[in-house]
Structure 1
Amino acid sequence: MTPERLAKIRAVLDKRQPDLTVLLERVHKPHNLSAILRSCDAVGVLEAHAVPARQGLPDLEETELNLKGKAYNETSGSAAKWVGLQLHDDTTSAIAHLKAQGFQVLAAHFSERAIDYREADYTRPTCILLGTEKWGVSPEAATLSDEHIQIPMMGMVQSLNVSVAAAVILFEAQRQRIQAGFYEQVRLSLEQYQSVLASWIARHERGQG
């Protein structure tokens, strides 16, 4: 590895935000998953979370239903090699896991209590919860979330593509965190930093980065 490449890897890791993440609930289309993980990488998300699609969901193509754990990991590898992806068996356990780590869970969900996405405080440990384009987040996820956020729409359509919505919200989180100085100092613990650095270097040496 060249000194320049190592310096680049360290510079990126220095800005990773361990307390900013997304939870993708049944986001089953590879191009959406890939685009979301690219946005995660762009704003410094260290690790994303996902609940894969399950059998029995309405109006899903058979090929889409087959996008489970292995496909999620493969898509993660091709779309955003530098963002971890942790899979969960179900929404309840995923949200419980995140809340136990101190995350507020903000569901992108239109409801009577939804606030403008720019009004949320993303300087707190935050998980942005996103569902499928057609169905949105599940009623269970909406109930378990701490807050509902929405992107104001001025046209005929009621919502954005899920990957576009993710990017819009993530870059608002980035804006707030830049203002708060979050990217000016390393925010990972020394142990976590060394662990991630070692895995990134190994990935590079295997020709994956």
Structure 2
Amino acid sequence: MLLFDLQVTPITMSPERFARINQMLDNRQTDLTVCLDKVHKTNNIAAVIRTADAVGIHQIHAVWPDIEMRVSGNTASGSQQWVNTIKHYHMDEAAAQFAQQGMQVLATNFSPSAVDFREVDYTKPTVVIMGNERDGVSEAGLAIADQQIIIPMVGMVQSLNVSVASALIMYEAQRQREQAGMYGTRTLDDAYCQTLLFEQGHPIYAKACRRKNIPYPRIDDQGQIVADDTWWQRMRAPDPNADQ
């Protein structure tokens, strides 16, 4: 039995949503990221993801021995669907990926060798390792760091919430990159952009494609689905996976 009948006429997402998604894609920084080192509190993870989205970071990393890492939806406010989270069991797994991308590795830490976080050049490919509030960055994280950084404080407290500290550093990176003209030029892979435009612009069709095992179509420069008659016939055909 067909649960619902999809339209067979191409639908265009609203021009406003199409423009907003494309603007986001144009500003994504693929060589700037944050690595959360055993940060356990879900509200902190979600807050970091939300800030990452706000400054144009494409994906973050999380070293998490337990793969069941969860994000607080209320705090993230949907940001997790725009920012990828790459999970690693161990820091060495993350380190190998950073090295492959040629990133400078920064780690927040109170130490004599740490420099003011604003003195670093964030226009270089960069990852910032952030530790949890109790233990800070792990020894494994410090071992792979090219430079340790610190947020100066002149009050009585000696540390900031990890999401607050992350936000300060990310916005400094954004400031430097904006001054260097690094926003506004798309660096993301076209296939990724096409997938995101389809899933976020045409979510009902995307869900049907996944359920019916139909390849995603292309999206044109107006936000419209580009597909032949065969694709649309498969789309309107009874769902073979629907409950009978």
The answer to whether the 8 A contact 1:51-1:94 is kept is: yes
1:185 aligned partner: 185
Out of 183, 190, 196, the residue aligned to residue 193 of structure 2 is: 196
TM-score normalised by structure 2 residue count: 0.73
Q: Shift of the alpha carbon at 1:78?
A: 4.3
Unmatched segments (≥5 aa) in structure 1: 55-67
Q: How does 1:31-180 map to 2 (within 5 A)?
A: 31-52=43-64, 54=65, 68-72=66-70, 78-180=78-180
SS of equivalent to 1:69: coil
Cα distance in 2 between the residues matched to 1:199 and 1:77: 18
Deviation at 1:80, TM superposition (A): 2.8
Q: Distance in 1 between matches of 2:82 and 2:29?
A: 13
Q: Which deviates more from structure 2 when the two are superposed, residues 30-39 or residues 90-99?
A: 90-99
Larger radius of gyration: 2
| Residue aligning to 2:202 | 205
**1:157-191 Cα shifts (integer Å, max 9, x gaps):** 11110000000000000000000000132233xxx
**Which of 28, 37, 41 pairs up with 1:25?**
37
- Matched AA of 1:171: Y
CA RMSD of aligned residues (A): 2.0
On the 8 A contact 1:21/1:128 being kept in 2, the answer is: yes
Matches of 1:193 and 1:171 in 2, distance apart? 27
Aligned-residue offset at 1:143: 1.5
| Contact kept in structure 1, 2:67 and 2:89, CA below 8 Å | no
In structure 1, C-alpha distance between the alignment counterparts of 2:14 and 2:80, rounded to whole Å: 22
Q: Aligned residue pairs: how many?
A: 191
Superposition deviation, residue 21 in structure 1: 0.4
Percent identical across equivalent pairs? 44
- TM-superposed CA distance for 1:196, in Å, is 3.0
Inter-partner Cα distance in structure 1 for 2:72 and 2:190: 24
State how far apart, in whole Å, the 1-side matches of 2:113 and 2:35 are.
20
Structure 2: gaps (5+ residues): 1-12, 207-244
Contact 1:17–1:45, Cα closer than 8 Å, also in 2: yes
